[in-house]
Amino acid sequence: RHPLLHKRQQLTWREMQFHEIRDHVRQEIQQRAEEGAEVSAWRDRLKDLDENHPDDESAWRSAFDGLYDGSYVAPNADAEPSSLDAILALLPEPAADLPVAETDIADRMLGAWLGRIAGCVLGKPVEGRPRNYVDLYLSLVGETELTDYFPMPDPFPEQLDGTWLTNPNISGCTRPNIRIAERDDDIDYTIIGLHYIEKYGPGFTTENVAQEWQTLLPFGQVFTAERVAYRNIVNGLEPPLTATYRNPFREWIGAQIRADAFGYVNAGRPLDAAKIAYRDASLSHTANGIYGEMWAAAMIASAFSLDDPQAAIEAGLACIPPSSRLASAIRGALDWCVEYPIWQECWERAQAEYGHYHWVHTINNAVWVVLALMYGQKDFGKTISIAVRCGNDTDCNGATAGSVIGAMLGARAIPDKWTRDFNNTVRSYVMGFDNSRITDLAERTVKQYRRLRKHDAKA
C-alpha cells in the first residue's frame, strides 16, 4: 500500500496497456492486408506514428479507436465466411466417414495423446524461433539431426539467447531434465476439450466453451486471440462478437491448437470432428483461424482410420472452404512435397511464399505440419522433428503433427525414448487436471468416443 510503490505499479500497468495498443494497431493493419483490404492509408498513418509520435499515447489510442469503429468488413468474406452454414455450403464434397478398427482404438487413442505431448515437449525449448536458430542450436551441441529431445548444454552457448530456457517449465523439456510432461497451452486445450465432451456431450455450445474458460483456465495463461476473446467474455460480449471485437489475432494459430480432442472423440468421422471444432473455434477466431481448427480436427479424426498421411491431410482439406487462403496453402504445400526431394528445399519454397505471416499465424504453421507429415514418411520421430525444425510455433506444430502420426501408428509403434521420461504424467493449468495420468486421459477419451458412437446410433 506504499504510495510510491502503488504509483510504480500503475505506471507499469499503463505501459503494458500502451504496448498492447501499439501492437494491436500494427497487427490489425496487417490482418486487413491479408484479408485483401486496401490499407495504404493506414500504413502511412502507422509510419507517421512510428516516426513522429512513438510515445504519444493519445495518438496511438486515436488510431486504435479508428481501426475499430465498426465500419470494417473483410472484402473476401464471401469466399472465406465465418458462419458454419456458409462454410459447409462451400464444400463441394465433404469428407466421408471412415471405418475404425475397434480392436485398435485404445492403442491409437493413447498414441494420439502421447504423440501430441511428445511433439509439444520437443518443440517447446525453441518456440517462436526461426529455422536457422533451431539449426544453430543443433550445430552448437554437436548434432546434425534432431533425433531426440534438445539437450540442455552447460554452459549455454553465447551465440544463442538462452534466457527462455531459464524457465524451469522450459528446461524441463530438455534432456536429461525430463521427469514429467511439462504444462503447455497446447496440452491444456486438448484436456479442456475432452472436458467439454464429458460435461456437455456432443451438443456442447460455444457459450459452454466461454463458461468453462472462465471457470477452469487462468486468464494469464491464454494468449493472442484467446486472451482478447477471454477479455471480451468477461466484459459481457457474446459469441461471435467475442471473436471479432478488437481482435487482430482472429486468424492466428490459437484455434488450430485446440482441435485435437474433437478429432479424437470423432475418430473416423472427419466432418463431424470439424463441425464440433467449429463451435470451439468461433469463440475466438474467424475465417482461416476457424478453418485451421476444423482442418486439424478432421485430419486427426481421419488418422484413426487411414494409413497414409497425405490422405489424412486431404480429408481435413475437404472440410474447409476450397477458396480459402488456408486451403490454397495446404494444396500448394502438398504439390511442393512432390516436387522437392528433401524437406529443406520444400521449406525454402514455402518460406518464400508464406514467410511474411507472423510466426503465430495459422497458415504458415499449417504448411509446416504438412511438410512434417509428408516428409516424415510415417516415422514418428522424423515427423515431429521436421515439424519442429521448420521453426515458428514449434511446440504447436510438433504437437499437431505428433497427434496425427500418433493416431495413425498407435502407442505401441512410438519409440520408447519419446515417452518413457514422462512417467505417464502431464502437468496442466486446467483446474482439476494437473498431474493427470496420460493413460487415464486416453481411456476417458475412448469412453467419450464410444459415447458419441452410441448417441449417433440411437439418433
Which DSSP letter does residue 2 get? -
The pLDDT value recorded for residue 165 is 76
Burial of 378 (0-12, 13-18, 19+ CB in 10 A): middle
The pLDDT value recorded for residue 235 is 97
The pLDDT value recorded for residue 159 is 84
The pLDDT value recorded for residue 4 is 36
Query: For the segment 18-45, what is each residue's pLDDT rounded down to a tens digit?
Result: 999 999 999 999 999 999 999 999 999 9
Packing angle between helix 287-303 and helix 325-339, nearest 10 degrees? Answer: 50
List the one residue out of 261, 285, 277, 294 whose CA is nearest residue 366.
294
Please determine, for residue 11, whether its predicted confidence score (pLDDT) is greater than 80. no
Cell of 29: 493493419
- The fraction of the chain above a pLDDT of 70, given in percent, is 97
The pLDDT value recorded for residue 458 is 65
Distance in Å from the first CA to the final CA of the chain: 61
pTM of this structure: 0.95
d(CA 457, CA 459): 5
Cell of 156: 549455454
Amino acid at the residue 393: D
d(CA 276, CA 158): 47
Please determine, for residue 254, whether its predicted confidence score (pLDDT) is greater than 60. yes
The pLDDT value recorded for residue 43 is 98
pLDDT bin (cut points 50, 70, 90) of residue 419 is: very high
Query: For the segment 277-317, what is each residue's pLDDT rounded down to a tens digit?
Result: 999 999 999 999 999 999 999 999 999 999 999 999 999 99
Please determine, for residue 6, whether its predicted confidence score (pLDDT) is greater than 60. no
Query: For the segment 87-111, what is each residue's pLDDT rounded down to a tens digit?
Result: 999 999 988 999 999 999 999 999 9
Question: Could you give the 3-state DSSP secondary structure of residue 25?
Answer: helix
What's the mean pLDDT when you consider all of the chain?
94
Q: What's the per-residue H, E or C state across 295-339? A: HHHHHHHHHCCCCCHHHHHHHHHCCCCCCCHHHHHHHHHHHHHHH
Which DSSP letter does residue 37 get? -
